Amino acid sequence: MADEPRVVAELGRPETPDEKAARVAESRRRRRANQSTKNLLLSLAASFAIVLFLVLVVVRPDPAPLAIDYVAAAAEAEASLGTTVVAPVVPVTWAANRAELAGSGGVTEWTIGFVTADNTFIGVLQGFDANPTWLRTALRDPGDGDTVTIADRQWQRYDRRGVSGVGLREFALVTETAGSTIVLYGTASDDDFMLVATAVAADVPAPAD
């Protein structure tokens, strides 16, 4: 026996074939829409899981650069030159980012770069058999300095803080040793420069009178 036409409560009568076809079509459309939404959510969840995996496992931050052993480098430079090379003792919170032996204008240079605890910079530059031209070039024509005494040693001080175009040479201290000129320069505080100048004075002998 054939099924009786479905009585629609809203109509109070059996639905017509056209109404039934419309109802079935609407039901199928809703199922497809729900399935599409579900698939979209699953795709988004899968994409998020892949991104999370890449961030946690594959993408890693670059490691911090290793501090340079400037004391060992200074020992090698000293053995090569056959003369005293400065290697001042600094706080353990500082790090050397440069330590090398090079040359400029016919003058052999030993250079150390220190990054201080508050992320400022002090460079130590030692020029062997240096001359005034080398010094002016090293400090980018600093002009006239004034004489100060640090650790019983005379230094020429050049303070150009606030002057544009000087780069890392905002402040500098210069002293002479037996056979070399030592330049301290950078962006650090007076206290940090005083610390390094005192360490240099203890590390390298002053020239004989």
**Per DSSP, which regions of the chain are E strands?**
7-8, 13-14, 95-104, 107-115, 121-128, 146-150, 153-159, 171-177, 180-186
* 3-class SS of residue 102: strand
Q: How far apart are CA 206 and CA 85, in angstroms?
A: 13
Kindly state the tokens that stand for 128: 């062997």
Q: How far apart are CA 196 and CA 86, in angstroms?
A: 11
Mean pLDDT rounded to a whole number for the chain = 84
Q: How far apart are CA 20 and CA 140, in angstroms?
A: 92
Look at residue 62 and tell me whether its pLDDT is greater than 80: no
**pLDDT confidence of residue 103:** 86
Cβ-in-10-Å burial (0-12, 13-18, 19+) of 120 comes to middle
Rounded mean pLDDT of 65-78?
89
Match domain 70-203 to its CATH number in 3.40.50.2300, 1.10.3470.10, 3.90.79.10, 3.30.200.100.
Answer: 3.30.200.100
Instruction: Indicate whether this model's pTM tops 0.85.
Output: no
72-130 pLDDT, tens digit per residue, is: 999 999 999 999 999 999 999 999 999 999 988 889 999 999 999 999 999 999 999 99
Q: How far apart are CA 147 and CA 142, in angstroms?
A: 14
Q: How far apart are CA 45 and CA 39, in angstroms?
A: 10
